[in-house]
Amino acid sequence: MTQVFNFSSGPAMLPVEVLRRAEQELRNWQGLGTSVMEISHRSKEFIQVAEEAEKDFRDLLKIPSNYKVLFCHGGARAQFAAVPLNLLGLAKTADYVDGGYWAQSAVKEAVKYCAPNVIDAKTTIDGLRGVTSMNRWQLSDDAAYVHYCPNETIDGIAIHEEPDFGEKVVVADFSSSILSHPIDVERYGVIYAGAQKNIGPAGLTLVIVREDLLGKARQETPSILDYRVLAENDSMFNTPPTFAWYLSGLVFKWLKEQGGVGEIDKHNQQKSDLLYGIIDNSDFYRNDVAVANRSRMNVPFQLADASLDKLFLEESFAAGLHALKGHRVVGGMRASIYNAMPLEGVQALTDFMADFERRRG
Ligand code: PMP
HEC string for 237-255: CCCCCHHHHHHHHHHHHHH
Q: Is the CB of 248 under 6 A from ligand 1?
A: no
Superfamily in which the 259-360 domain is placed by CATH: Aspartate Aminotransferase, domain 1 (3.90.1150.10)
- DSSP assignment of 49-71, as one string? HHHHHHHHHHHHHT--TTEEEEE
pLDDT in tens, 123-179: 999 999 999 999 999 999 999 999 999 999 999 999 999 999 999 999 999 999 999
Q: What pTM value is reported for the model?
A: 0.98
Nearest CA to ligand 1 atom 10: 76
Which amino acid type is present at position 346? V
Residue 361 has a pLDDT of 79
Q: Is the CB of 199 under 6 A from ligand 1?
A: no
Yes or no: say if 180 and 265 are a contact pair by the CB < 8 Å rule.
yes
Measured CA to CA in angstroms, residue 302 lies from 286, 289, 322, 327 at distances of: 5, 11, 16, 12
Residue 158 has a pLDDT of 98
Ligand 1 atom closest to the Cα of residue 151 is 3
pLDDT at residue 7 is higher than 90: yes
Residue 120 per-residue DSSP state: E
pLDDT in tens, 41-90: 999 999 999 999 999 999 999 999 999 999 999 999 999 999 999 999 99
Yes or no: say if 302 and 329 are a contact pair by the CB < 8 Å rule.
no
Yes or no: say if 180 and 268 are a contact pair by the CB < 8 Å rule.
yes
Ligand 1 atom closest to the Cα of residue 79 is 16
Give the Å distance between the CA of 348 and the centre of ligand 1.
27
Q: Is the CB of 76 under 6 A from ligand 1?
A: yes
Average pLDDT value over all residues in the chain: 97
Model confidence band, residue 330 (pLDDT cutoffs 50, 70, 90)? confident
pLDDT at residue 1 is higher than 80: no
The boundaries of every CATH 3.40.640.10 domain in the chain are 17-258
Q: In the predicted model, what is the mean pLDDT of residues 266-293? A: 97
The boundaries of every CATH 3.90.1150.10 domain in the chain are 259-360
Q: Is the CB of 149 under 6 A from ligand 1?
A: yes
Determine if residue 153 is labeled as part of a ligand binding site.
yes
Rounded Cα gap, residues 55 and 133, in angstroms: 34
Please classify residue 292 by burial: count the beta carbons closer than 10 Å to its beta carbon, then call 0-12 exposed, 13-18 middle and 19+ buried.
Answer: middle
Model confidence band, residue 201 (pLDDT cutoffs 50, 70, 90)? very high
Rounded Cα gap, residues 194 and 19, in angstroms: 19
Q: Is the CB of 100 under 6 A from ligand 1?
A: no
Nearest CA to ligand 1 atom 14: 75
Rounded Cα gap, residues 138 and 314, in angstroms: 46
Which residues are CB-neighbours of 232 under 8 A, at least 6 positions away?
A: none
Ligand 1 atom closest to the Cα of residue 196 is 15
Q: What CATH number should be reported for the domain whose range is 17-258?
A: 3.40.640.10
Report the complex ipTM.
Answer: 0.99
Q: Is the CB of 173 under 6 A from ligand 1?
A: yes
Which residues are CB-neighbours of 327 under 8 A, at least 6 positions away?
A: 9, 101, 154, 300, 334
Give the Å distance between the CA of 284 and the centre of ligand 1.
31
Alpha helices in the chain (DSSP H): 16-24, 44-61, 75-87, 101-110, 227-232, 242-257, 261-280, 309-318, 343-360
| Cis before 240? omega within 30 | no
Nearest CA to ligand 1 atom 12: 76
Mutational pocket test of ligand 1: of 175, 176, 196, 338, the residue with most ligand atoms within 8 Å of the beta carbon: 175
Q: In the predicted model, what is the mean pLDDT of residues 187-198? A: 98
Residue 24 has a pLDDT of 97
Nearest CA to ligand 1 atom 4: 175
Percent over 70 (pLDDT), the chain: 100
Determine if residue 269 is labeled as part of a ligand binding site.
no
Determine if residue 9 is labeled as part of a ligand binding site.
yes
Residue 2 has a pLDDT of 77
Residue 63 has a pLDDT of 98
Which positions are annotated as active-site residues? 102, 173, 197
Q: Is the CB of 153 under 6 A from ligand 1?
A: yes
